[in-house]
Structure 1
Amino acid sequence: MAELVVKDNALIQASYTLGLAEQRLILLALLEARETGQGIDHNSLLRVHAHAYAEQFHIDKGNSYEVIKDASKGLFDRYVTYHDKNPKTGNDRSFHCRWVDKIGYEKATGTVYMRFTSDVVPLITRLEEQFTSYELEQVSQLSSGYAVRLYELLVQWRSVGKTPIFELELFRQQVGVEKNKYSRMSDFKKYVLDFAVNQINEHTDITVKYKQHKQGRVITGFTFEFKVKTRPKKAIKSKRDNDTPDMFNAIKMTDKQRGVFASKLSQMSDLSRYAKQGENYKQFAERIETELLDEKKQVFYIPYLEKLGFEY
């Protein structure tokens, strides 16, 4: 069963610098809140166990205890930078806030306990007209924090398969490059951009390429184009009786599976044209979830479910 992480786009677009282990710790905390139905508010003390970290990210269980312990120490000092407008004056504003206001490690069980700050909680939990969801499995094999951040930025544009221009300085912040690191473009491309693109192409569900934009001889930004990788088609199961033509077998899904796959289907570029005018992602997903209960309508979604790896 695919494990889905959902983040508000405002948070994905925010500029922050996190180490790979710190990013993974946050992703597992979001997953735990979602899977357990606990949800997240300012009082939620979320748990991440070393065994879950090791299993999800394919590392040695013995090492995972030290990894999450160190990540918990680093995460306490990390902050998010986000931008908005003053509602009274319309002036642009820039804010800094910490990710967590409480975090600890229980040595006996190898468990990290963490509580997100009140400023970050709404960015994580608000699923309004635009949000991004993706399978944790897609980033579990990425060994670069830059690659994880770039993947998150790209899949916001999954429905169109291309991005607007990412201006260089803001883009550097968004993928987590520290201010004075990789200041030479050749180093930035070698150690950040090209490395991240290669990892995404090898380990995730999309294939991406980029184009650089210049003013004179100076590179000022990048645009990206990507497409979802095709999966081998499986033979479609059918059944026949003496009185009816061949029909597809009904898809058997749990309520949880139906909700997860409806959310993913709603964001597939192949299905975007079927969204009704004025219908946002959440509303589209709710309609798909209802249609997946209807055996006749299920037939339409089978090819798309196969692309998402659903087995029936």
Structure 2
Amino acid sequence: MKTEMCLNGENYVVMSNDLIKGKSNLSLNELKLLRLTIMQVLKEDTDLRTYQINISELAELLDITSPSIYRDVDDMTTHLLQEIVYVGDGNPKHKYKKFQWCSDCEYDNGVVTIRLHDNLKPYLLELKEHYTQYVLQDILILKTVYAVRMYELIVEELRTKVYADKVATVDLSLEEIRKATNTETKYEQTAMLKVRVIDSAISEINEKLGYRITYEPIKRSRKIVGYRFTVESKNNIKGF
């Protein structure tokens, strides 16, 4: 049985913290399509479903204007079938688990059909704790993978924080940032990682989502090992 996708961007994307910190090599639209699919999973669901969406609706939702959209979507579904997500359990000494994102993902006759892999059930179904949620629309308006992934990392950490005077701090290690943004073998110099990934991502999040996020390096023996992000609540910023 196939279910038509709900396209309400105000609904929540909910997944386990381990999955949100996972590593995968996805394009921006592939990432957004997966998050759209994850948004379909309901709190009361006990199994994953197969979903369908019309390509014109998908193009509008993801703001795809390419004249080669049919070929692009076909290529995207092929890659999503092949792509693997590496998921840890919070212990750096443990080996990552490897899962396919999808067990079914195809484009045919104007319709995209997608089903998340059953191996992802523990990370998506009946979550009681250690999970992250955010409104899908928040990432739909972001234009880079780095911005989406940095936003997800920060939101994941914010769920465990209590705002003091509507301000919270989030510490992210370089390892966490590199894994989530798939830059473990890119921008080897931390200064370059900051410019190409962190600076651009946080600037976009602040501009598009109305946060006021600043950050400073965390050092150990003069070596930068991570960054501390100070996040001001959107409710405390004039105009939001």
Name the TM-score, length of structure 2 as normaliser: 0.80
Aligned residues: 223
Partner of 2:32: 24
Letter in 2 for 1:23: L
Indicate conservation of the 8 Å contact 2:44/2:126, yes or no. no
Indicate conservation of the 8 Å contact 1:16/1:176, yes or no. yes
Consecutive aligned runs of 4 or more in structure 1 exceeding 6 Å deviation: none
Letter in 1 for 2:217: Q
1:85–1:181 distance in 2 versus 1, CA, 3 Å: closer
Indicate conservation of the 8 Å contact 1:201/1:207, yes or no. yes
CA shift for structure 1 position 147:
0.8
1:205–1:136 distance in 2 versus 1, CA, 3 Å: farther
Could you say which structure has the larger radius of gyration? Answer: 1
Equivalent residue in structure 2 for 1:56, among 55, 61, 64:
61
String of CA shifts for 1:45-103, please: whole Å, max 9, x gaps: 222332232222333285543443222122122212222399xxxx7343111111222
Equivalent residue in structure 2 for 1:162, among 163, 169, 172:
169
String of CA shifts for 1:10-59, please: whole Å, max 9, x gaps: 2112233322111111112123444xx995735x2222332232222333
1:94–1:32 distance in 2 versus 1, CA, 3 Å: closer
1:3–1:84 distance in 2 versus 1, CA, 3 Å: closer
Determine the C-alpha separation between the residues in 2 that align with 1:57 and 1:40: 28
Partner of 1:243: none
Determine the C-alpha separation between the residues in 2 that align with 1:66 and 1:207: 39
Letter in 1 for 2:63: H
Determine the C-alpha separation between the residues in 1 that align with 2:203 and 2:113: 34
Indicate conservation of the 8 Å contact 1:8/1:123, yes or no. yes
> Which sections of structure 2, spanning at least 5 residues, go unmatched?
1-7, 163-167
Name the TM-score, length of structure 1 as normaliser: 0.63
CA shift for structure 1 position 127:
1.9
Say whether residues 1:65 and 2:67 are aligned partners: no
Bigger relative contact order, structure 1 or 2 (CA pairs below 8 A, ≥6 apart) = 2
The 3-state SS of whatever aligns with 1:115 is strand
RMSD: 2.8
> Which sections of structure 1, spanning at least 5 residues, go unmatched?
234-306, 308-312
Q: Quick check: which one's strand share is greater?
A: 2
CA shift for structure 1 position 137:
1.2
Say whether residues 1:13 and 2:15 are aligned partners: no
The 3-state SS of whatever aligns with 1:84 is coil
Determine the C-alpha separation between the residues in 2 that align with 1:85 and 1:149: 17
Partner of 1:150: 150
Determine the C-alpha separation between the residues in 1 that align with 2:25 and 2:215: 22
Identity across aligned pairs (percent)? 27
